[in-house]
Every structure is written in structure tokens, then in C-alpha cells.
Structure 1
Amino acid sequence: MPFRNHRVLVVDDNRSVHDGICRTLASPHKPAPEPELFHEPATPKPDFQVYSAFQGTEAVQRVGEARERGTPFAVAFVDLRMPPGIDGVETATKLWQVDPDIQVVICTAYSDLTWSEMSTKLGRTDQWVILHKPFDRIELLQLAQALTEKWALTQQARAQMADLESRVARRTQELVDALDKLKREAAERARAEHEQRSLQRKVEETQRLESLGVLAGGIAHDFNNILTGVLGSASLAKLETTPGSLIDQHLDRIEKSACRAAELCEQMLAYAGKGRIAVKAVDVNALVKDTLELLHASVPRDANLSIDLEAGLPPTMADPARIRQVVMNLVINAAEALTGHPRQVTLLTRRTKLTQSDLAAMSHPGDAVPGEFVSIQVSDTGCGMSRETLRRIFDPFFTTKFTGRGLGLCAVQGIIRARGGALDVTSEIGRGSRFFVCFPTGTAEIRPAPVFPPPAPALPARPDVTILVVDDEPTVRDVAELALRRQGFRTLSAPDGAQAVALVRDTQTRIGGVLLDLTMPELDGVSTLKALRALRPDLKAVLMSGYDQSEATQRFDGLGLHGFLQKPFTIDTLRQKVAILAS
């Protein structure tokens, strides 16, 4: 047994009894004489190590010192009465104070204390027994043997319990760690799934916006072609009427309506990121201040427009007209949403730093990258919007207004997206809405659109100059040809680039210049002009398109355009732009 301990202390003031117990329990390492006290022959003894004390205080001292040395006693045989010192009961109590594990045998020849009284005085019923004098030698040895084994078993059980508790604690900690790991993994998985769903929603939203942008851009482009025919035909018809006549007035209304339709097309192109822009460094605060009168006029008289502009904002690269359009649209929408009281619209500008996580949390981050931004925030205390409305407010032609066209906010989003900005919208029914718009800061050099010479004055008829009109839209070709012939030019036309190239290659007519559309099937404007210049390096060209001049003309770098004609156009605008071709 690994916890074996046969160290025994005998405590008795009567030397005869004391020596008798010692001889009976004496260790083989310290031979004892034949016991005379019990008048019995010698028998084999266990390997007890016997130590002596003659008073209780001496016993307490020895037990305490032995425990401190790491060689504790297993059993103490203590006489009940040891005058003049402390008795056995008090001795036992003090022994347990210095060594709680020691087993105690109370040796007594008296019966003046009952078991109950002894139990009351000693308390621990599991660590003491009574041995009545005179006692039998075998009884003494059995008792010593049993109690030393009990001490060893107690130590072994305690060690096993400590080991078990340690293993349980260790295993419990392992389970706690495993549970924590599972919780972290579950949380991480939930977060990853949330991010994946969020990313998927953003991808789907981006794809939807791109599809809508392509659709809006295509519709606007086609409408511009149609409007070119309407506006051009109206301009031509006006030349055949008497100014101020009823027909002339009708034609004026047609022209104005066509121009208004062209403005709608421009908003659709802005949504698609292809509207007319003139990018430069913009001071947003200065722009807002310049627009204050219009802003206040946009808000009802019984409402309050609060404007807070942070001083020292860095510039942002944008088209001032587009930024003004964004601010006006947001303020007008906020003002129209006001119901009840308070009726408050607030416009703030701030320098804002956005991290990747900030952008990810925004409802419409677009393609914005982390960095510094100039932010414009417009909030109101109006009626607010439902989730369904929030989801659709940037869709083209979606509106909650009776007279709305549903193009204002979609144009705002297109402008922001085209400049690499971000947008966040929050709203609550009955509490109002907040639009948070961010444009990246910077003064990076923007490649300017080509600078064309100023329009030349109208020239006299030049029947010797032939102008080639290339456009896949028959109405545009017809209007352009009619207008050019009315100015005295001769014209040729082609419905696509391939036929235009063949016409220049095969005709004997000297072509003075080409009026060229940007987007056509098979060969687009760029490819067509390259092919034409391969045949006629000196051929002058004016580009016409419904798209932004900067975007459209940048594709013609190095090809030497001589002008740009924005669709839809009037006859007067056409006359000015093509004059360069006849010079």
C-alpha cells in the first residue's frame, strides 16, 4: 500500500502501562523484550514504529513536529487521565488541531464517562475508539493494525479523490473549452453565413441595379434618337411657317415637350452613369451656399430647413451640376415627406472616414473603397417609409407621389455610383428618413473632354461640299440630311459603319466630312472612323451621341474629332456644329 504508515505514538503517564504498550507494538527494527505484562509468549509483530510521550502537551508537540517534517503519526494511544497535565480528551482535541488525520485510541480503566459524553466532548466519532484497561495483547495489536490501515486507506482515498477531482476539473475545463470553441465556431459560422447572405443580397442588388442601369441607358439612348427626329422635324417645320402663326405655336410646344422629354432621358442616363458630366474639384459647402435660395424655396413656409456645414471640407471630384441635383432632389423629397409637427428638414455636410466594415453596413455601398469622403446628410421628421418602399425607392419610375415620375432618386443613385460614392438610407414609419451620401475626396487630375473650336458662323451654301451622315436610326439620318441640304450641302448617308466605309471607298464624290453616330451595330463609331481615316486621313468628323460628351469622346483619343453634337439636337445646333466640316 503506497500510503503505509506504522508510526504510532504512545501517550501515558504510567510508565508500566506505557512500556507495556510500547513493547507490544515495538518495531522489529527496535527489538522488544518478551512481554511480561500479559504473560504470553512472543508472537510475530507488524512493523510498527513506536514513539513515546508521557504528558498531553508533550504529545501535541511531537505530533505537530512530525507532521511538519512530513512523517506524521498514524495512531496515538492516549491515556484518559494524566495528572497533573491535560487529560486524554483535551489531548485528543489538541492533537487533531495540529494533525487532523491522526487516529486516536483513548485508553482508560474508568467508566466515569459514557460514550455519549465522550462523543460530545470529542465530536469526531470516526477518528477515535476506546480501549479499556487492562487490555489484551492481541486486541492491542489488531487495533493498531486496523487503525494504521484505516489511516492509509483514508490518505489513499483522499489522494484518489483529489486526483479524481483534478481529472474531473480538467475534463470539465476541456468540456468548457470545447463548448466555448463550439460557441465561437457557431458564432463565426453564423457571422459568416450572415455576411454571405448580406454579400449575396448586395451582389443581387448590384446586378439588379446594373441591369436596370443598362436598361435605363438603352431606353434613354433610343428615346434620344426618337427625340432627335421629333425635335429636328419640328425645327425644320418651323422654317416653313410664319413666325407667330398658330402652326408655329404648335411647333414651339412640340419643341418644348421634346426638350422636357430629353431632360427625362438625361435623368435616366444619370441613373445609368452615362449622363452629361463636367468633372472638376467641387467645394460642396460653396455649392450648397450658392443653392440656399432654391433650397429654402423647396421647403414649405411652415417647415424649418436647418443647414449645418462643417468648415474646411476637402474637395471632391464631381460635376457641380450633378452634386446640386443630388442636394436638391434629397431636400425636395424630404420636404414633400413632412406631415404633422415638428416639420423639420436638416442638411449636414461632414468630412467622413469610412472603413470596409462601415461601407459593408451601408444600404448602398456601390463600388466605394475605404477612405475619406465628403458626406451630405439630409434628414426629415416626415412620414417615413416602409421596408417595401425602402427596397424600391431607387428603381426607375417607382414613386409614391401622385405627380412623381420616379426618376429623381434613381438619378441620385446613378450620380453617386458613377463618382465612386456610397449611399445609406434609414427610415421609420412616423419618425422620418435619413439619406447619407458620401463622395470620395480628392483633386486627382481628370482627363478632360476634347476642346473643340467654337462653332463657326453659318456659312453660305456650299453645294460643292458633301457630308456623309452615318447613323443606324433612319429618323436621325433623315432629319440630319434634310437640315444639311437646306443649308446647301450635298449629303450621303449610311445606316452602319460597314456601308459608310464602302461608300467612301467606292464613291467618286469628294466627301468633305462625316457626321458619325457613336453606337451602331457591327462597326461602332470608333471602328468606323478608324476605317474611314485609313482611306481618307484628312477626313473631318463630328461625333453625335445621346451619351455624355466626356465619356463618348474619350474613346476617340488620337483620332482627331472636330466636334461633338449632343442628341437630341435642334437644326440651329446642327448648323453650328457642322460648319467646321465645310470650312
Structure 2
Amino acid sequence: MRGNQMGKTENEPKRRILIIDDNTAIHEDYKKVLKGVASDSELDQLEAEMFGSSETPLNDSPEYETFSAFQGRDGYEMVKESIEANNPFDMAFVDMRMPPGWDGLETILHLWKADPDLNVVICTAFSDYDWSEVATKLGTNDKWLILKKPFDPAEVCQLAGALTEKRKLSTALNTRLSWLESEVRARTKEIEAREERLQTVLDVAPDGIVTINQRGEIESANVAAAAMFGYSQTEMQGRPVDILTSCDDSLTALKSMIEQVGLQQNRTVDCECQKSCGATFPSHWTIGKRIDGPGRFQTAIVRDESEHERMRANLAQAQKLEAVGQLAAGIAHEINTPAQFVGENTRFLKDAFDDIGTTLESLQRLVDKCDSDSLATEEKEAAKHAIDQSDIPYLVSEIPKAIDQSLDGISRISAIVRAMKGFSHPGSAEMALTNIHECLDNTITVCQTEWKYVAEIERNYDECLALVPCNAPEINQVFINLLVNAAHAVADSLEKSTETKGNIIVSTKAFSDHAEITIQDSGVGIPKANCSRIFDPFFTTKEVGKGTGQGLSIARSIIVDKHNGKIEVDSRPGEGTTFRIQLPLNRGEEVLSSQDENSAHQPLAEMVV
């Protein structure tokens, strides 16, 4: 007889086998076969009858521990107890006919109620059931096998080894699965906790966070994004990103940027967005690198720039008012000078008019006497005296001069007031065709107290320069920042030289597609190391208290970001500085219609050192 191929493992626990049979001798024969011991002589006949052979099995089978039950009900109770003790049987040999109690089929059904994973071998020579009925009752599964009598001891050993090994592996597998399920539950709980923390972070984030799939649809949106666009989070899911903007140019720029973003970079774009109610607002998008895979998506952080734009406008206006405030004392002095001689001339005219009135009255009386032919000597003397007192020749000579001086003073005052009004007016956000020369003249007038005593202003205007589409108040802000800086630079240079005054040259030039404005000074110049930083916010080379460091930063923002122009600086220490501004010469309506498009571009300020 061939032996079992499953050898013993060191320290392996014995495999537990339950034998349910109403014949005591059968129990002993099972035990002998499973222990690998040869039958003694008085059992040879029974062994031959039962097993059909007297060969001794090989002693390489696993070690088994056998348990006996002589009725099906007893076997059922033993299985129940083994389950309760957490020490189940590995398999059971069950005889089919065990009168007067349960037969083998009924016994197996009860055993499986106690232990659903118990492997069973049905041992029988006769059966009260048709095999198809057995299969119907027990089901077509791998938990039961049939061993017909007489059977070979090798079959018993093979079945015992295979089924107990199966139970062993099944138990190990169930243990492993249980551990894996426990790990999965723990990991799932950890992932859920992380997702909850992440969701909390997303919900409290002040900026909108949107995920976009490869079809250009919104997969998710946080609370801020939903509030920003006026939808619920559920309403945004699955809808195209097109709903977030009504501007074709902005949508094109946004989609183009989404497509350009790769696996290793983030990109930004400014565009006009639209709320569900139709209201629009400026926004800044930061589009994260693409996450590839079956669920490829991109993450976008959306920031509502409305408040930022308001703050930037307020900052520019505050800068303008700050400049006006710094110039207020000088402007008051400039207005006071013509106002003084206007007042003096007015008082002179009043006194002169009194004298002229007295003279005219005397002359009138003289005329009246002449008409009545009763002219007396005293009337002639009175008229002569009045004429002498009023000094008519002097009045005739000085009164026209006083009137001209007064008119000139009034004109100067009016010019300053008009320039101040035009410069300080907040204006609107719209572009308009503007006379750049008028803007320059107004600015020069407003800040004349800064340059009047340190520099001579030279104007070189190109008369061919047409009206330029721009925002006049903002351009005025740029001009005054550059002119005041130029005046300060010239003043600093005069402290180190014997010159009485420096020079500031303001020039314009017309090109086919742009207007160029140049402001050149003979000041101290800008050190090369600082040229790359002069447009940075709050950077200044002036002494403490003389500037905020915001002037050139605001100038760059106005020219580059808002007007899509350029601002360049060319400076040489000790020789002076030249600022060159270029503004596009588009038609007014084209500029108005392309402001959103321009805002989507981000040209950099060019600097020439």
C-alpha cells in the first residue's frame, strides 16, 4: 500500500478526527490505519473484509488524534462542544447507517449546523438514499466525499491527510482573512479620518478649490467655491467648467491653461468668472499639476479678486492723495503768491476809484456851472485841485497794469485749481481717448513746488501724437510719481555740485502702434544693484519718511497690468535716469472690448540698465 505523501511537521499539533459509527470494531480499525500500525492476526479477516488488503501502511502520515461517537446525535454534541472550546475537529468519518438514531445524512446536516466548515467522509456499503438525493440534500460543495466499503487503508489515509490539511489551510486562510479584514477596517477608518480632516481643511479654506476631470467636468467643489459661484456643491458636480465664466476669451484662456498643465508644474491664469445669478467678478486661478490614472483629474484654486481689485484701486487712490497731501503746502504757496498781488491790485483799484470818483464829481459841478454861465473862481480852483490830488496821469498808467496783473494771477490760480481737480478726480475704470499732453501739463503744474526751485522743465511734445486710449486719472498718477522722483533725484544731485538747477525733460513720440512718453532727469541716478528692485512693492532708496516705496510699484501695475503697456528704466549713477513708458494706440472701442483679454496676459515690466 502506498503511503501518504504529507509528512509530519516538527511541533505540529495532532489533527483531530471524529469517527461516527455504530460498530465499535470499525472505530479500532480506523485508529490503527490512521496511526500507521499493522492489524493483529485476529482482525486480519475483518480487515480484509473491510479494507480488502492486509498491507501495512507506511509510517509517514501526519499524527492524528481520533475521537469516537457511536450515534449521530452524540457526534453532533461533540462537534458543538469542540466549537465552544475553540478546538474544532479537522474532519469526520460518518457511517451512513446507524440505527436506531439519525442516519449519516441527517447526522451530517446537524454537524454542519454546529460547524459549517467541517469536512465529512461518508462511509457506506449500502445507502437508504439515492446518490442524487444525497447531493440534493448536502449540496454540491467540497465539504463532503464518499468512501465505499470495502475500502483500501491508503484511501483512508489519503482522505484523512487531504481533508485535515484542507481544514488546516482553511483555518489559516480564515485567520489570515480575518486579520486582513481587521487591517482593512483599521486602514479604512484611518483613511476616513484623513478624508474627514482633509474635507475639514477644504471646507474652511477661504479660496475656492475645484477638481476637474479629463472631460473638463467639475468633479468636486469645496464650500468656498460653491459660495463664490452661487451654486450648491451638488449642483456643481458633473457640470462643465464652462458654467464658471461667460467670457469667451476667459474661457479659452482657462481651458488652454488646463490643457497646458503637465505632471510636474502648476500654472496660473487671470480671467473673468460668472456667478449663477449672472454677476461677473475677476478671479485668479492656480491650476495644479495633472494627476494621471483611470480617474485623471486636476485641482484648481480659485481666488475672487474683487476685494483685491478694490484694495488695489484704493491703494492707488491713497497713493495719489498722499502725493497731493505732500504737495498741498507748496500748492498753497503757489496760489498765495498770485492771490496776494491780486488782493493788492484790487485794493489799489478801490482807492484809485475813490480818487477818480471825487475828481469826476468836481468836474461835473464845473460843467454844470459852465452851462449856467455862473462859473465862479472857487469852482475852477476846486476842479483843478481834485485833478491834482487824484494824479490822473499816474492812474491812467497804472490801472491797466493792475488789471492785467490781476487777470494773470486769476489765470494762474484757475490753472492750478483745474490741474488739481483733473489730477485728484478718481475717474472711472473705463478706458477713454485721452490727450496725453494735457495730462502731462496738469501734472507738471500740480507738482511744480517739487521741481520749481531745483530744475528747469523742458517739454518736447510730438504734435503728431493722437489721443491715447487710457485711464487718465491712473496715467496722471504714474506721471506725478515719476516727476516727483525726478525732482528729488535732481535735488540730491545739487547737494553734491555747484549747479543752481538741474534739468527735467518731458518728451512724447508717436509710433504706428504705440505712444511713447519719456521723463529724463539729471539727478543722482540709480545704483545698478537696485535697478532690478525698483518696481518691487515698498522698496525705496529714499531716506526714512520721504517715501513709502509704493510709487513705482503702482506705476508698473497701472502701465503693465491695466494698460498692457511697458515701462523701462535706463539709469547711470551720477548722470541721471530716464523712464520710458509705452502705451498701445488701439482705438477706444477696441480697448474697451479687450480689457478682459488684456487682463488674461501678464507681460513683465522691461528694465534696461
TM-score > 0.5, shorter chain as reference: no
Q: Which has the higher contact order (CA 8 A, sep 6+)?
A: 1
TM-score by length of 1: 0.38
